[in-house]
Amino acid sequence: MFYFKDVIGQQSARARLIQEVQEGRVPHAQLFCGPAGTGKLPLALAYARYLCCAHPTGSDACGTCPSCVKWNKLMHPDVHFMFPIVRNAKAKKEVCDDYLAAWRRLLTTHAYFSLDDWLNEMDADNGQAIIYARESDEITRKLSLKAVEGGYKITVVWLPEKLHEVCANKLLKLLEEPPARTVFLLVSEAPDQILTTIQSRTQRFGVPRIAEADIAEALRTRYGVQQADSEAIAHMANGSFTQALQAISLNEENQLFFELFVGLMRQAYARKVRDMKQWSEQLAGMGRERQKHFLDYCQRMLRENFIYNLHCPEMNYMTRAEENFATRFAPFINVRNVAGIMHELEEAQRHIAQNVNPRMVFFDFALKMIVLLKA
Ligand SMILES: [Zn+2]
Q: What CATH number is attached to the domain comprising 300?
A: 1.20.272
Tell me, in angstroms, the distance from the centre of ligand 1 to residue 69's CA: 7
Tell me, in angstroms, the distance from the centre of ligand 1 to residue 354's CA: 51
Tell me, in angstroms, the distance from the centre of ligand 1 to residue 175's CA: 27
Tell me, in angstroms, the distance from the centre of ligand 1 to residue 5's CA: 14
- Total number of domains constituting the chain: 3
Tell me, in angstroms, the distance from the centre of ligand 1 to residue 91's CA: 37
Do 225 and 277 sit in the same domain of this protein?
no
Do 133 and 53 sit in the same domain of this protein?
yes
pTM for the model stands at 0.69
Mean pLDDT of 1-18: 96
3-state secondary structure 92-114: CECCHHHHHHHHHHHHHHCCCCC
Tell me, in angstroms, the distance from the centre of ligand 1 to residue 7's CA: 17
Handedness of CA 72, 78, 83, 86 (dihedral sign): positive
Q: In the prediction, which pLDDT does 149 show?
A: 84
Nearest CA among 300, 298, 304, 295 for reference residue 326 = 304
Do 233 and 195 sit in the same domain of this protein?
no
Do 12 and 158 sit in the same domain of this protein?
yes
Element (H, E) at 89: none
Q: In the prediction, which pLDDT does 370 show?
A: 95
Do 107 and 149 sit in the same domain of this protein?
yes
What burial letters (b/e) apply to 226-260, b meaning 16+ CB within 10 Å?
beebbbbbbeebebbbbbbbbbbeebeebeebbeb
Tell me, in angstroms, the distance from the centre of ligand 1 to residue 151's CA: 12
Tell me which of 149 and 124 has the higher pLDDT.
Answer: 149
Tell me, in angstroms, the distance from the centre of ligand 1 to residue 54's CA: 5
Query: What single-letter DSSP state applies at residue 179?
Result: P
- Domain of residue 240, residue span: 210-249
- The environment of the single-atom ion ligand 1, i.e. residues with CB closer than 5 A, is 53, 61-62, 65, 68
Nearest CA among 179, 164, 159 for reference residue 133 = 164
Phi, psi dihedral angles at 370 (to 5 degrees): -55, -50
Do 217 and 266 sit in the same domain of this protein?
no
Handedness of CA 103, 59, 304, 283 (dihedral sign): positive
> Over 90: is that where the pLDDT of 126 sits?
no
Tell me, in angstroms, the distance from the centre of ligand 1 to residue 62's CA: 4
Encode pLDDT of 55-106 as tens digits. 999 999 999 999 999 999 999 999 999 999 998 888 888 999 999 999 999 9
Do 149 and 27 sit in the same domain of this protein?
yes
Phi, psi dihedral angles at 32 (to 5 degrees): -80, 120
**Percent of the chain at pLDDT above 90?**
74
Mean pLDDT of 29-57: 97
Q: 249, 279, 308: which is the final residue of a domain?
A: 249
Domain CATH for 201: 3.40.50.300
Provide the pLDDT confidence category of residue 250 given band limits of 50, 70 and 90: low
Phi, psi dihedral angles at 253 (to 5 degrees): -60, -45
Do 158 and 301 sit in the same domain of this protein?
no
Do 127 and 262 sit in the same domain of this protein?
no
Give the range among 39-53, 65-79, 221-235 with minimum mean pLDDT.
221-235
Encode pLDDT of 293-349 as tens digits. 899 999 999 999 999 998 887 777 787 788 899 999 999 999 999 999 999 999 999
Do 261 and 139 sit in the same domain of this protein?
no
Tell me, in angstroms, the distance from the centre of ligand 1 to residue 70's CA: 9
Q: In the prediction, which pLDDT does 277 show?
A: 96
Do 34 and 172 sit in the same domain of this protein?
yes
| CB neighbour list of residue 179: distance below 8 Å, 6 or more residues apart | 143, 144, 153
